[in-house]
C-alpha cells in the first residue's frame, strides 16, 4: 500500500501519506450529504493525526467551534476580549517573585471564557497566531515598564510559526523602542519548535546574540533530550510538572536531580513547573532547583496595563 512512502515521479521524490474520512448515509439522504459528512470526518482525521475517522455529530460541533474561533479572534482582539495574564516565578532560596510567564486569556462579553487549550492550537494553524504573539509582546513590554515589575523578567511563549525573519525582527525592534533590556525578555519555546522549525538554530543564535534569554518549556515530555542543550543556546530549562510531581519518590527525585546537576554543569537556570504545595516547594529546594512556578505561589492574574 502506498502510505507513508516516497515514490519517484519524473525524477522528483514524492512523499505519500493518506487520511480517510468515512460517513454512513441514511436512505433519505442525498449523495451530497454523504460527501459533506465525509469531509467533516477527514478534517477531524487531519486535525487529530488519525489515518481514519468515522463521522459523528460531535465532529460537527468540534469543526464549528474551530471555525468560530478562527473567524472571531481578530474581532475579540480588537474589542479587548483577549487579555494577557501572568503567573509569578519565584526564587527558590528567597521565595521572592523574580519574573512572570505571560498567558493568553479569552474572556467573552458575557464573562464566559474560552480555554487557551481550545483557541491557541486553532490560531497556530493560521496567520492569526502572529497577532496573538504580537499582542502578548506588547503586553509584556508594557508590564516590564511598570514600577512594580521593573526588576522582573517577562517570559513570553512563541509558537513554531513565530520563528520567521519578520516576526523576530519585529520583536527586536519593539524591545529596543520600549527601552527594555532584552535580557528581561525570555523567549519560551517547546521541544516542538526545535523539531519543526527550519533553521531554528540560526533564529535562536540571533536572539541570543541580541541578549534575549532562551527557555525550553515542558522539559521531560515527548522526546526531550540533553542534546538540545548542547546544540542550541539554551539559558533556562523549565522542568515539566509531570516530573516534578514524581519527585516525592526515590526514582523521581533521582531523575530530576540528574537534570538539575546537568544544568548546573552548563550554568543553565532550572525552573520547576506545577509546584502546588509546600511539600513540593521543599522538595525543589532540596533538589537545588533555582526557581519555582505554580499555584503554591500564585494563580494567573490579568495584567492591569496602566
Domains in the chain: how many in total? 2
**pLDDT score of 180 more than 90:** yes
Residue 255 neighbours by CB under 8 Å, 6+ apart: 243, 246, 247
Residues 239 and 154 in one domain: yes
Query: Do residues 85 and 300 make contact, with C-beta atoms less than 8 angstroms apart?
Result: yes
Q: Could you give the angle at the alpha carbon of 70 between the alpha carbons of 68 and 73, nearest 5°?
A: 95
Does 66 fall in a domain? no
Does 146 fall in a domain? yes
Residues 34 and 144 in one domain: no
Does 61 fall in a domain? no
- Which pLDDT band, with edges at 50, 70 and 90, does 205 fall under? very high
Q: Which domain holds residue 12?
A: 5-55
pLDDT digits (tens, 9 = 90+) for 279-304: 999 999 999 999 999 999 999 999 88
**pLDDT score of 57 more than 80:** no
Does 68 fall in a domain? no
Q: What pTM, to 2 d.p., does this model score?
A: 0.80
The terminus-to-terminus CA distance of the chain in angstroms comes to: 61
Lowest mean pLDDT among 118-122, 149-153, 255-259: 118-122
Residues 289 and 181 in one domain: yes
Residues 245 and 216 in one domain: yes
- Which pLDDT band, with edges at 50, 70 and 90, does 41 fall under? confident
Q: How far is CA 217 from CA 101, 190, 210, 253, in A?
A: 11, 5, 21, 19
Question: In this predicted structure, what is the pLDDT of residue 46?
Answer: 65
Does 63 fall in a domain? no
Residues 29 and 141 in one domain: no
Amino acid at each position: 500500500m502506498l502510505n507513508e512512502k516516497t515514490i519517484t515521479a519524473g525524477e522528483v521524490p514524492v512523499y505519500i501519506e493518506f487520511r480517510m474520512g468515512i460517513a454512513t448515509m441514511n436512505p433519505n439522504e442525498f449523495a451530497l450529504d454523504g460527501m459533506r459528512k465525509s469531509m467533516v470526518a477527514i478534517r477531524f482525521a487531519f486535525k487529530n493525526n488519525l489515518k481514519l475517522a468515522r463521522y459523528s455529530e460531535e465532529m460537527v460541533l468540534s469543526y464549528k467551534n474551530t471555525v468560530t474561533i478562527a473567524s472571531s479572534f481578530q474581532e475579540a482582539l480588537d474589542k479587548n476580549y483577549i487579555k494577557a495574564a501572568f503567573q509569578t516565578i519565584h526564587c527558590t532560596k528567597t521565595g521572592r517573585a523574580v519574573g512572570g510567564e505571560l498567558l493568553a486569556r479569552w474572556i467573552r462579553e458575557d464573562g464566559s471564557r474560552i480555554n487557551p487549550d481550545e483557541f491557541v492550537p486553532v490560531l497556530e494553524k493560521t496567520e492569526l497566531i502572529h497577532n496573538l504573539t504580537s499582542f502578548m509582546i506588547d503586553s509584556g513590554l508594557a508590564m516590564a515598564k511598570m514600577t512594580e515589575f521593573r526588576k522582573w523578567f517577562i517570559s513570553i511563549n512563541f509558537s513554531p510559526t513565530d520563528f520567521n525573519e519578520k516576526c523576530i525582527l519585529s520583536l527586536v525592534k519593539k524591545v529596543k523602542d520600549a527601552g527594555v533590556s532584552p535580557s528581561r525578555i525570555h523567549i519560551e519555546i517547546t521541544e516542538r519548535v526545535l523539531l519543526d522549525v527550519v533553521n531554528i538554530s540560526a533564529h535562536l543564535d540571533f536572539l541570543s546574540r541580541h541578549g534575549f534569554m532562551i527557555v525550553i518549556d515542558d522539559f521531560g515530555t515527548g522526546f526531550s533530550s540533553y542534546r538540545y542543550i548542547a546544540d542550541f543556546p539554551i539559558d533556562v530549562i523549565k522542568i515539566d510538572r509531570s516530573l516534578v510531581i514524581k519527585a516525592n519518590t526515590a526514582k523521581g527525585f533521582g531523575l530530576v536531580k540528574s537534570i538539575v546537576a546537568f544544568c548546573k554543569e552548563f550554568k543553565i537556570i532550572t525552573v520547576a513547573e506545577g509546584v502546588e504545595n509546600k511539600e513540593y516547594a521543599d522538595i525543589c529546594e532540596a533538589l537545588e532547583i533555582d526557581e519555582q512556578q505554580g499555584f503554591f505561589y500564585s494563580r494567573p492574574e490579568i495584567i492591569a496595563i496602566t
